[in-house]
Amino acid sequence: MSGLTGQSAVDQLLELLDLTQTGESAFRGESPPVGPQRVFGGQVAGQALVAAGRTVDPGRFVHSLHGYFVRPGDPTEPIEYRVENIRDGRSFSVRRSVAYQHDKPIFFMSASFHRQEEGLDHHAPAPLDVPRPDELPTMADRLAKYSERAGIWAAIPRPIDVRYVGEPGWVRPGDRPADPHQRVWMRLDGKLPDDPLLHACALTYASDLTLLDSVLSVHGEVWGPGGVVGASLDHALWFHRPFRADEWFLYDCWSPSASGSRGLATGRMFTLEGRHIATAVQEGLLRRVGA
């Protein structure tokens, strides 16, 4: 596995999130020099959030975002982000951030930012009896059994350390038992600066990595040959409590429904101490290979 890993991969992710400002509310982003045939959804969502956040008072922190993927992104072309100031109120700021390529929107997002306030505080408990990340195989350990997948992963940067509790969605057909949950430990595989917006953008990036796996997990299905191909249709994320994306968090995902070639997935993120830091919901297009 020769692709960028560790701090080098994290530094490259930071470069992707460090957009170039081209106007008062306009920014330009790039994609990795190597990668998949279309732009990874988590990347464009993270960059769109960077663009929105740069137009907001830094004393206000993002608490929710809702985005739609409308066209596949071309990784060989820059992405232009245009931000519209919807409202700046006494407590909240709302922005609309749209990503363009070839003058056509490929993704748009509404994001809301809130000044810190004190109030009621509760959350449902984290799942019990989940192995800790240091008790689980690394990605390299898992890929050692799947040479046909190792070549793909070797070519792309891997800024996220991912430790699956169960079987990943990319194993061979028949190697994945049905499971109502897809649970994964994640963290940035290096250190991030202290900027809360960067941590929110990194978590947004990570939140798109395994969420749709939970739709397949219900049926014991897998991605690729002999299984399913898919694409994200929309993505929503709520940030509940302060966190660091370069510290371990459990992504506890499940799918309440799938029908009509679409699957709905939801996931909660917990720190090692069991604090609920974020919730994600996504719908994806899922089709049998060859259908």
pLDDT single digits (tens) 190-208: 999 999 999 999 999 999 9
**Closest C-alpha among 109, 100, 48 to residue 77:** 100
Residue type at 39 in one-letter notation: V
Each residue of 154-163: b (16+ CB within 10 Å) or e? eeebbbbbbb
Residue 141 annotated in active site: no
Catalytic residue, from 208, 213, 246, 252: name it. Answer: 208
pLDDT at residue 55 above 80? yes
**Global pTM exceeds 0.85:** yes
Residue 208 annotated in active site: yes
Residue 259 annotated in active site: no
Structure confidence at residue 35 (pLDDT): 63
Average pLDDT, the chain: 93
Which residues lie across from 271 on neighbouring strands? 249
Taking only the tens place, the pLDDT of each residue in 209-243 is 999 999 999 999 999 888 999 999 999 999 999 99
pLDDT at residue 156 above 80? no
**Closest C-alpha among 182, 131, 186 to residue 163:** 186
The residue with greater pLDDT, 36 or 271, is 271
Query: Poorest-confidence range of 55-69, 171-185, 256-270?
Result: 171-185
Structure confidence at residue 282 (pLDDT): 98
Mean pLDDT of 171-198: 94
Residue type at 13 in one-letter notation: L
243, with CB counted inside 10 A (0-12, 13-18, 19+), is buried
pLDDT at residue 137 above 80? yes
Catalytic residue, from 232, 246, 252, 255: name it. Answer: 232
**Closest C-alpha among 156, 52, 66, 140 to residue 109:** 66
Domains of the chain in start order, with CATH, are: 6-116+138-288 (2.40.160.210)
Beta strands in the chain (DSSP E): 20-23, 26-29, 60-69, 79-88, 92-101, 104-115, 160-164, 181-188, 228-239, 249-259, 262-271, 276-288
The answer to whether the CB of 194 falls within 8 A of the CB of 212 is no
Q: CB under 8 Å to 68, separation ≥6 — which residues? A: 107, 108, 109, 233, 234
